[in-house]
Structure 1
Amino acid sequence: MAQERAGGAGEVPSWPVYAVGIGGDGVATVDGVAVTGAGTPAGAARVAALAEVRVKAAWHGRPVRVVAADADGERYLIVGVDGAVTTLAGPHPRPAAAPERDRSRPGSADGPLPERYRAEWNRLVELYAAGRDAEATACAQALEEELAGAHGPHHPWAVRAMTVRATVALRGPVADRAAATELLIATAERRLAAGARPAAETTTVINNAHALWHRLRSEVPQAALDLTPRLLALLAGDERRSADVWSWWADRAPSRSGRHG
């Protein structure tokens, strides 16, 4: 088992923050993905989850942040490439976007949208402004997929199209609330991973995800439970919203299924 020790976070970046959940049934999850089966002893489930996070730390080549939650509460950890675990005294800082990219570099990802995409982008803007949400969503998704395929999912143009699609989803019907909440969470995760600018827009997406989740939890509690670990990771550093989410989640710990730890 990784040795826990008291200590500070040092220079560990504020993102990513991985969400670890340990369910009363022995199922451990990392960002909502199960890494152990039902019936696993709590200690073994925790070790397995932290081992999975260690792999992610190795991929990044540096320590990473973790929000670990179980029926006893929530802890804030730093997991190193060597598996060492540091328990922090308080929450992680609010995730921040990466520094501005150097726009002077050849092939910089920033800049005006290429001519080949502009007609479709203008159509998307018009559909959104007219409130034709179904058409706007389809247009944004098609444009996002085309841009991501040509330039990668973290390219600013692809991220922008995804952000518009998530914004449209906010206006969707109650029946689509779970999908819209998941899309907002995924959009915030991608914006943070890409260092998308402006940072204030990323914060807005995170706050919108929390607001929609708040409505979802009274309409479809199970869907809200499934999304809670990822939302908590996004809210690291926002003590008020984290407390709101955690207090609701903790009360339902005994009924959590294996999908959400």
Structure 2
Amino acid sequence: MITLTRTGGDLDGTPLTGADTDARRHAALALLHTRAAAEGRTLTITAYDPDATWHMTMTPGGAVTTLPAPSPAPVTAPPADAAPDDWHAPLDGAHREAGQRLTAAARAGDHATAAALAQRLYQDLTTARGPAHPHAVQMLTCWSWHALHQAAADPVEATDLLIRTARLRHAAGAPPEDTQRAALNAYVVWRTLLLPADPETAREDASRLVDVLESLGHDDRARSVLELASQ
């Protein structure tokens, strides 16, 4: 449960940091995304803020859907031995323990540590199960999410990870909502942060970004990238 006031807020009793209500709301959603990715399941959430009460769901990839009525019972995750193409199977064994450490780092608002833990988990899952396994794909998505929160400091890594995430999710047949989200976030970071800060790297990344945007039907944004990269 998220509780926000004009002067503070918490997530299940854990204080949220941020200069204002919007910042604390974003912090809560970041923590919930990390939890959903680590547990491999969609979460149902009730959020109380100064203006309204909201009911929503959060997928392991970070997609939020607002519900029109009080949320139903939480979605039950399948067993750890679920089929490899099940995108909501939870992490198991040592990977689950690492996921819990990742969640703890995110709860502390430490996106740098959370990103490093997600990177190691992604590498371990890729080695153990292959790069297209749902666990590996979802962990790359989680890694890119935490990189996105640090994009102002490192737009090169954020852009690269978001492009990789969108490409891998699309190739692996992952749920499309989070694939689209990664691609559009890549475009925003590329255009607003990377291009002004490092035009040379932005131009090097342009062709990869264009390929992703075109493959997902965002032809207008792809043309925008080509035009901006040619200036």
| TM-score normalised by length of structure 1 | 0.52
* Residue in 1 that maps onto 2:128: 150
Amino acid at match of 1:146: D
**1:108 and 2:86 correspond:** no
* Residue in 2 that maps onto 1:178: 156
Deviation, structure 1 residue 107: 6.6
Match of 1:230 among 177, 193, 208: 208
* Structure-2 separation of matches of 1:248 and 1:213: 10
**1:207 and 2:184 correspond:** yes
Deviation, structure 1 residue 175: 4.2
Tell me, yes or no, if the aligned pair for 2:115 and 2:146 is still in contact at 8 Å. Answer: yes
Give the greater-gyration-radius structure (CA): 1
Could you tell me the percent identity over the aligned residues?
Answer: 36
Alpha-carbon distance change, 173 to 238 in structure 1, aligned in 2, over 3 angstroms? closer
Q: Which has the higher contact order (CA 8 A, sep 6+)?
A: 1
* Residue in 2 that maps onto 1:244: 224
Q: State how many pairs are aligned.
A: 147
* Residue in 2 that maps onto 1:217: 195
SS of 1:235's partner is helix
Q: Deviations over 1:113-151 (max 9, x none)?
A: 223321211221221232201211111111111111110
Q: Which has more helix, going by share of residues?
A: 2
* Residue in 2 that maps onto 1:119: 97
* Structure-1 separation of matches of 2:103 and 2:153: 25
* Structure-1 separation of matches of 2:110 and 2:213: 31
Provide structure 2 residue ranges, at least 5 long, that are not aligned to the other structure.
1-77
Amino acid at match of 1:244: S
Deviation, structure 1 residue 174: 3.5
* Structure-2 separation of matches of 1:194 and 1:162: 12
* Structure-2 separation of matches of 1:154 and 1:239: 26
Provide structure 1 residue ranges, at least 5 long, that are not aligned to the other structure.
1-102, 253-261
